[in-house]
Amino acid sequence: MSNQRLSPAQQAFYHREGYLTGLDPIYDSEGVADLNTGIKEILALLEPGEKPLEIREWHQNSTFLFDICMNPQILNYVEDLIGPDFYMWASSFFIKDPHSPETVAWHQDSFYWPLTPPDSCTVWLAFSDSEEENGAMRVIPKSHRGGIIQHTSDADANSVLTLKCDTAEYTDDTAVFMNLKAGQISIHDDKIIHGSLGNNSPRPRIGFTIRYSKTNVKCDLAVNPNFKTYHCRGVDRFKHNPEGPIPTQPYGRIWQDYRNVETLNTES
């Protein structure tokens, strides 16, 4: 499993459509059980009043999360899509409770992220089954090829984002649901338009996102002074960004005062 690579057809599909799914599971049933044991330990570190959205970049202080981000099979797929030289810089949990009305408006990650050039991808790992009924992510195929689109205020009280992008050139009926079984991943381009609907089921939807960028991608530290990178593959010839600490404890958290939560917490 750890030596699997993407076929030329899969790579071509990703670059043409802006996403990839339908891959063999990264984690088998035993691995999924370990994932869900681990997330209980992570959730227990939240303070009263904090939500799972606060679990951002905790890979910096948790070997449990760091090892997921550095899973060799995941890195193989990322390398096949964005090239041999890349780093990991962010991770987040996106959890929709049973019957949650929370939605995520149509948006592009690259609109929010202070990264130049926009040349990154997100891996979305399912800790639980993610299906249309319980609020799976959906994408508009090929929308990543239209450049970065203007975002405006969103009046939907159920949306976790305050902005949404103009989708006048696209229609919802072209959207594709990224249905995943627990242990599977999807991968999407940072410019693709995506979002999600509410959870209409009695089951939770638990997803973990990991962000990877080519080494030529530079962060504006004035916007995100907490930005830290972890070199994954190849060579970093640019040295644009600060490197993060390697964690030493199984379950730990970090404390950060983000000035722009949406910059880092775009749902995937």
The closest of 113, 119, 149 to 258, measured between CA atoms, is: 113
- Report the C-alpha gap between 139 and 128 in whole angstroms: 19
CB atoms within 10 A of CB 249: 10
Q: What is the pLDDT of residue 268?
A: 54
Q: What is the pLDDT of residue 172?
A: 82
- Report the C-alpha gap between 107 and 261 in whole angstroms: 15
What is the pairing mode between strands 205-214 and 120-126? antiparallel
Contact 121, 81 (CB under 8 A): yes
Q: What is the pLDDT of residue 160?
A: 81
Q: Specify the 3-state DSSP secondary structure of 130.
A: strand
Residue 218 tokens, joined: 């530079």
Q: What is the pLDDT of residue 259?
A: 44
**Residue position matching structure tokens 């049973």:** 98
Q: What is the pLDDT of residue 197?
A: 93
Helix axes 8-17, 72-82, angle to 10 degrees: 70
Q: Which CATH superfamily is domain 8-264 in?
A: q2cbj1_9rhob like domain (2.60.120.620)
pLDDT (tens, 9 = 90+) of the chain, 268 residues, equals 568 999 999 999 999 999 999 999 999 999 999 999 999 999 999 999 999 999 999 999 999 999 999 999 999 999 999 999 999 999 999 999 999 999 999 999 999 999 999 999 999 999 999 999 999 999 999 999 998 998 988 777 777 887 888 777 787 889 999 999 999 999 999 999 999 999 999 999 999 999 999 999 999 999 999 999 999 999 999 999 999 999 999 999 998 764 444 445 565 5
Q: What is the pLDDT of residue 260?
A: 47
